[in-house]
A and B are shown apart, each in its own frame.
Chain A
Amino acid sequence: MLGKIFFLLCLSSAWAEDLCSKAVPPEAYYVRLSIKTALGDKAYVWNDNEMFLFQATLAFAMRSQFSGQEYNVSNIVVCDETPRVSFWFVVTSLEDPSRLVSRGDVEQAVRKSRNRINSAFLLTDQTLEFIGITPTLAAPVAPNTPPWLIVFGVVMGAVFAGILVLLVLPLIQKKRKKNQPMEDEDSDEETQVKTAENGPERSGVYNMSFSDDDKFTQM
């Protein structure tokens, strides 16, 4: 039993090495990570442990997409790792290690768990790229009433209220003034007499009616 498992493991690793030396199969997906761009100073170094994590998360993604099928790290074959931190990978099928899982299935699995894969590496859709799998765009949030209409409504309401107040206020003040003189008629007469007495002392009120006239025609 143990021997059989050991034999299969050796076979799969040998198979994996074999796969990498051949040309890139059509089922492969190219992956590129930009860790420094995403994390700057806090960037971690890419090493074999990180690669192991990648294989594990991808196996996790395959497992969650195809429930019941227990994919393992050994099913994820990674080749052509470069200093850029880019490589391509394929997923071998569970029954037959020589057969590869189709592109469509892998794409579905990656899309479903994209968020989890990204967060495992503290990266985003732009910094952990699966070439060929476009990130799904977030649906735009469209409020029912455009917010600008609300602000416009508030401002216009205030302006119209202001105009009404400015137009109506003087009319109300005029009405109040009209009512007041009816009550103070007696006191008014006395003051009028006083001003008449003071009248002749002033040299006369300047009459503006002549100087403001249109003097375009000359006599």
Chain B
Amino acid sequence: MKLKLPNPGLEDRILSHQQLDKVEEEEAGDRPKWDNKAQYMLTCVGFCVGLGNVWRFPYLCQSHGGGAFMIPFLILLVLEGIPLLHLEFAIGQRLRRGSLGVWATIHPYLTGIGVASMCVSLTISLYYNTIIAWILWYLFNSFQETLPWSQCPMNANLTGIISECERSSPVDYFWYRETLNTTPSIEEDGGLQWWMLLCHVCAWSFLYICIIRGIETTGKAVYVTSTLPYVVLTVFLIRGLTLKGSFNGVKFLFTPDLSELAKPTTWLDAGAQVFYSFSLAFGGLISFSSYNSVHNNCEQDAVIISIINGFTSVYAATVIYTIIGFRATERFDNCLSGNIVALLNAFELAESDITDSSYDQVVQRLNETYPDVIQGLDLKTCNLDTFLSEGVEGTGLAFIVFTEAITKMPISPLWAVLFFIMLFCLGLSSMFGNIEGIIVPLQDLKVFPKTWPKEATTAVTCLICCAVGLIFLQGSGNYWLSLFDTYGGSIPLLVVAFCEMVSVVYIYGIDRFNDDIKFMIGHKPNFFWQATWRVISPLIMLFILVFYIITKVSEKLLYKAWDPESEKFPTLVEKTYPVWIYVIIFVLAGIPCIAIPFIAVWKCVKAKKNESVIRKGNSSRSMTLFCVFRFTVMNKLYDS
């Protein structure tokens, strides 16, 4: 029993198989094309592999039971990631339109899905490029012998170091003060930071030059941006494995804790990570595959890209954790030696009396004999595991933890430059897909006049995004960015992906889809694809969506602020959002989701109106035709 919703007129809106073959043969289409398969694969890999693989996956892996996290991750990769990817590739290649065009072609009422995709791509592009601006700022600052985040600057009268830096650490100070110049709360905007403005403009100019003529220029840029991160990761792996303590990190990452598998949050996080990691529902992948030749093997592509994405996540996690292991071991050693020195000084013992290994025994012995002195010393607890699990996700990983680790390696500027170039390439190649997901729908909506060359449309898009992105350059920019990230890029994508699956399987028709794939690649998709497309993947998407909404709605809206005046400083303080933020959250998360049913209803109403006008027109037209016919016949009769 196959459920299929009625969809009249579908045949008229799409090219038939014979027409597709003809277009292919005669190259009569005006659609841009990939120069070769490698460009297409590198662009898709670049889009999928992004900053999340480097700074989100390792954290999830480590916090959800290490090696055990691989199990839900791989299972959901196969059941959720690969089918959705194959679906997007196949539908784009078959209908040969961008994301908005594809959904409008399947059924005009579904245009809302394309609009929602475009809105989400727009939201994400705005803040993603700010992250690239931050990366550029750090990159520019890496070309110095002593890295600026390795030491605290002196205060105004040169008597000592700045208090904010002294109480926290040089890397924290450089990130929160010299880079972001962050305000203590989201309500204070703190004004535009000029140095970030320069980096922001630089980031958008770089992006513009790469997308200036669409895939013609993007295809060339990805040769560098998609391959360089792998080279740098390998270099860091070799460097990392030779550092002391790196194996502690890798062991910590992969030590399995199978009890985590029983928790639903582990599976939820794994599903969300697979979904976001594949950059699905942005519309960019549909666009990219629509530039392929009709008989390109999209099934093989989907499997290969999924494998590459999964492998990159694991590889990047290993590399990151060798460096984190090194940093944690270094911190642990420093903590321990600090305690040992305090003990030696207090009890006037010779230096060789207390070593790292005999520390615990000595402390116990001394505690029994002189407990007051030990209390007075206020020894810190040194736990390697605590250091290993410190703040290692997101911007905190890249700009605080990793930069600190780099300052402790010999030839620090080299490693800093390499690291930030890698992050830059990862971010930029993802931006290509995001921008594609904005520009092509805008062209389909005919927002730009047809006479404008491609260079002008991309320029206008980049300029407008650059201007709107100025919000993130204020003092409170970091808080706005995490707001956009949490609400703008999460729920709408899940909704769009679910609608995509339902539309292709039940509105376009799974039978027609199977025939299309048979026509394109030569064989019908096997049972695995049928099962996942029809039942398994939509169910998984629905589960993740429902649980996500429930967790987001039930939790209090808090954000973490850097407040030098708070008591807990340098720990981040949790503050509640002001009331007007709810409006912003609604705009970010609600409007794309509401756009889908709203546009469907609007199109329906418009279509019904047109129908009634045409019916009236038909009746009047047939009358006029009849009159004209009678007139000519009568004339002929009279003439002859």
Taking beta carbons and an 8 Å cutoff, which residues of A are in contact with B? 32, 34-37, 82-86, 137, 139-140, 147-152, 155-156, 159-160, 162-163, 166-167, 205-206, 208, 211, 215-219
Contact = CB atoms under 8 A, between A and B. Distances in A.
Contacts of A167: 212, 455
A211 B16 CA distance: 10
Contacts, number: 99
A84 B141 contact: no
For A86, A159, A217, which residue has the most chain B Cβ atoms within 10 angstroms?
A159
Judged by DSSP, the binding face of B is helix
A83 B15 contact: no
A37 to B, nearest CB: 7
Given A151-B143, A167-B455, A211 B19 contact: yes
A166 B30 contact: no
9 contacts: A37-B341, A37-B351, A85-B351, A147-B140, A148-B195, A156-B202, A163-B209, A208-B23, A208-B29
Given A163-B212, A206-B28, A147 B144 contact: yes
Interface string B453-497: 001000000000000000000000000000000000000000000
Interface of B: 9, 12-13, 15, 19, 22-23, 26, 28-30, 104, 108, 136-137, 139-141, 143-144, 151, 153-154, 158, 160-161, 195, 198-199, 201-202, 205-206, 208-209, 212-213, 217, 337, 341, 344-345, 348-353, 455, 603, 607, 610, 614
A152 B351 contact: no
A182 B221 CA distance: 37
Contact of B610 (A86, A150, A206, A217): A217
B202 A83 contact: no
A129 B195 CA distance: 42
Given A36-B351, A84-B351, A205-B26, A152 B198 contact: yes
A215 B28 CA distance: 20
For A32, A35, A82, A148, which residue has the most chain B Cβ atoms within 10 angstroms?
A148
Contacts of B201: 156
Nearest to A38: B351
A84 B19 contact: no
B205 A147 contact: no
Contacts of A208: 23, 28-30
Given A37-B341, A152-B199, A82 B26 contact: no
Given A162-B209, A166-B209, A167-B455, A84 B30 contact: no
Contacts of B140: 147-149, 151-152, 155
Contacts of B151: 140
A104 B244 CA distance: 45
A83 B344 CA distance: 10
Nearest to B417: A151
B351 A34 contact: yes
Contacts of B350: 83-85
Contact of B158 (A139, A155, A218): A139
A159 B205 contact: yes
Given A36-B351, A140-B153, A159 B23 contact: no
A84 B349 contact: yes
A86 B28 contact: no
Contacts of B153: 140
Given A152-B199, A167-B455, A208-B30, A218 B9 contact: yes
Contacts of A149: 140
B22 A206 contact: yes
A147 B158 contact: no
For B108, B137, B160, B353, which residue has the most chain A Cβ atoms within 10 angstroms?
B108
Contacts of B349: 83-84
B143 A148 contact: yes
Nearest to A207: B28
B546 to A, nearest CB: 33
A86 B348 contact: yes
Nearest to B25: A206
B104 A216 contact: yes
Contacts of B136: 155
A215 B455 contact: no
Contacts of A148: 137, 140-141, 143, 195
Nearest to B104: A216
A201 to B, nearest CB: 14
Contacts of A84: 344-345, 348-351
B151 to A, nearest CB: 8
A159 B198 contact: no
Contacts of B208: 163
Contacts of A163: 205, 208-209, 212
A218 B344 CA distance: 90
A217 B13 CA distance: 10
Contacts of A217: 607, 610
Contacts of A32: 345
A19 B25 CA distance: 106
A150 B344 CA distance: 48
A84 B340 CA distance: 12
Contact of A159 (B9, B30, B206): B206
A198 to B, nearest CB: 15
Given A84-B350, A152-B140, A218-B9, 17 more contacts: A84-B351, A139-B158, A140-B151, A140-B153, A147-B144, A148-B137, A152-B198, A152-B199, A155-B136, A155-B140, A155-B202, A163-B209, A166-B213, A167-B455, A206-B28, A215-B12, A216-B603
A159 B209 contact: yes
A36 to B, nearest CB: 4
Contacts of B154: 137, 139-140
Contacts of A162: 209
Contacts of A86: 345, 348
B394 to A, nearest CB: 23
Contacts of B455: 166-167
Contact of B160 (A34, A137, A147, A205): A137
A82 B348 contact: yes
Contacts of A205: 26, 28
Contacts of A160: 205
B209 A147 contact: no
